């Protein structure tokens, strides 16, 4: 069975999308563990609702980023997942994690990378009058949101659209695209040597 580790920091709606895709056999695999750096993340409750293994590793309890990452690696090595999915995980990983799980970590980011790495992407799109917005799934490397792109989903920005409205529409793309890409990892049709896989 293809084992997935999902790392979260907040609401966990993309986690829920992956769980449901596993249950509905869209993904030929299972969520083996959910890890949160935030003890108050609602995604933890989602994991509990589905009787999944979960672990809270509170980054505030570690002196350095590397110390936190070593604890994360220890937990992930115990689980030994086939794929690690960063689904709203608000931490920049150091080489401690990236080297331990090379080419096995993917992230979903709410912009059409390489545009708008980092935070506040929806506001940037509106402020700059962009006509297109979207999401990117990419491999994780040492560069913030700079790893090889696997897939992108795109939408047209509506005139006078608010940030909240845009964010909601972006989430709806994420919840379709991320399970679809994870399923392709599970069946072996995506790996680090693949070029961009356009879905939308």
pLDDT tens per residue across span 37-49: 999 999 999 999 9
Q: CA-CA distances (angstroms) from residue 72 to 53, 59, 123, 141, 166?
A: 15, 10, 31, 16, 33
What is the sign, positive or negative, of the torsion defined by CA atoms of 152, 134, 173, 117? positive
pLDDT in tens, 128-141: 999 999 999 999 99
End-to-end CA distance of the chain: 28
Looking up tokens 């086939």 gives: 82
Average pLDDT (6-16) is 98
**Is 42 within 8 Å of 15 (Cβ atoms)?**
no
The structure's pTM equals: 0.94
Average pLDDT value for the chain: 94
Catalytically active residues are 109
Rounded Cα distance between 95 and 113, Å, is 21
Domain 2-186 has CATH 3.40.190.10: no
**Is 112 within 8 Å of 34 (Cβ atoms)?**
no
Average pLDDT (96-109) is 96
Residue 2's nearest CA partner among 82, 76, 75, 79 is: 82
Whether residue 99 has pLDDT greater than 80: yes
């Amino acid at each position: 069975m293809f084992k997935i580790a999902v790392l979260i920091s907040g609401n966990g709606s993309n986690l829920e999308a992956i769980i449901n895709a596993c249950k509905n056999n869209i993904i030929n695999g299972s969520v083996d563990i959910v890890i949160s750096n935030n003890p108050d993340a609602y995604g933890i409750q989602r994991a509990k609702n589905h009787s999944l293994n979960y672990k809270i590793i509170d980054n505030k309890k570690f002196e350095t980023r590397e110390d936190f990452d070593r604890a994360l690696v220890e937990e992930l090595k115990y689980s030994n997942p086939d794929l690690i999915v960063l689904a709203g995980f608000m931490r920049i990983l150091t080489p401690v994690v990236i080297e331990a799980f090379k080419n096995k970590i993917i992230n979903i980011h709410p912009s059409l990378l390489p545009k708008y790495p980092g935070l506040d992407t929806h506001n940037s799109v509106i402020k700059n009058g962009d006509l297109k917005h979207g999401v990117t799934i990419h491999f994780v490397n040492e560069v913030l949101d700079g790893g090889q792109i696997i897939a992108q989903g795109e939408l047209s920005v509506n005139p006078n659209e608010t940030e909240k409205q845009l964010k909601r529409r972006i989430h709806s793309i994420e919840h379709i695209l991320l399970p679809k890409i994870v399923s392709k990892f599970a069946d072996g049709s995506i790996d680090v040597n693949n070029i961009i896989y356009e879905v939308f």
